[in-house]
Amino acid sequence: MAEPEVYDVAVIGCGPAGLSAALNAAVRRKKVVLFGGEFCVSKINRSPQVDNFLGRPGVTGEALHREFVAHVREFDIPMINKRVINVFPDEDGLFGLAIKDRIHRARTVILTVGMAVTRTLEGEEGLIGRGVGYCATCDGPLFQGKTVAIIDYTREGIEEAVYMAGFCARVYYVCMHTEPPRFEQENIELLKGVKPVRILGADGTVSALALDQQTVEVDGVFIFREAFPPQDLVPGLELEGNHIKVSRGMETNIPGMFAAGDCTGKPYQLGKSVGEGQVAALNAVAYLDSAGK
Ligand SMILES: Cc1cc2nc3c(=O)[nH]c(=O)nc-3n(C[C@H](O)[C@H](O)[C@H](O)COP(=O)(O)OP(=O)(O)OC[C@H]3O[C@@H](n4cnc5c(N)ncnc54)[C@H](O)[C@@H]3O)c2cc1C
**pLDDT tens, 190-231?**
999 999 999 999 888 999 999 998 999 999 999 988 767 788
- Considering only CA atoms, which of 113, 80, 81, 84 is closest in space to residue 99? 84
- In this prediction, what percent of the chain has a pLDDT beyond 70? 96
CATH architecture designation of domain 125-224: 3-Layer(bba) Sandwich (3.50)
Domains of the chain, by residue range, sit at 6-117+228-290, 125-224
Pocket test residue of 270, 272, 278, 279 for ligand 1, highest count of atoms within 8 A of CB = 270
Using a 10 angstrom Cβ sphere, with 0-12 exposed, 13-18 middle and 19 or more buried, the burial of residue 127 is buried
Distance 140 CA to ligand 1 centre (A): 30
Give the pTM: 0.81
Question: In whole numbers, what is the pLDDT of the chain averaged over residues?
Answer: 91
Distance 271 CA to ligand 1 centre (A): 11
Distance 114 CA to ligand 1 centre (A): 5
Task: Kindly indicate whether the domain formed by 6-117+228-290 is annotated with CATH number 3.40.50.720.
Answer: no
Domain 6-117+228-290 identical in fold to domain 125-224: yes
- What's the pLDDT score for residue 129? 82
Peptide bond into 267 cis (omega under 30): yes
- Position 1 pLDDT exceeds 60: no
Distance 213 CA to ligand 1 centre (A): 32
Q: Could you identify the atom of ligand 1 that is nearest to the CA of residue 115?
A: 30
pLDDT confidence of 83, banded at 50, 70, 90? confident
Q: Which residue ranges have their beta carbon within 6 Å of ligand 1?
A: 12-18, 35-37, 41-44, 46-47, 50, 52, 83-84, 112-114, 226-227, 233, 261-262, 268-271, 273
132-160 residue pLDDT tens? 988 787 778 889 999 999 999 888 899 99
Query: How far is CA 163 from each of CA 15, 61, 174, 195, 235, rounded to the nearest angstrom?
Result: 29, 34, 15, 23, 28
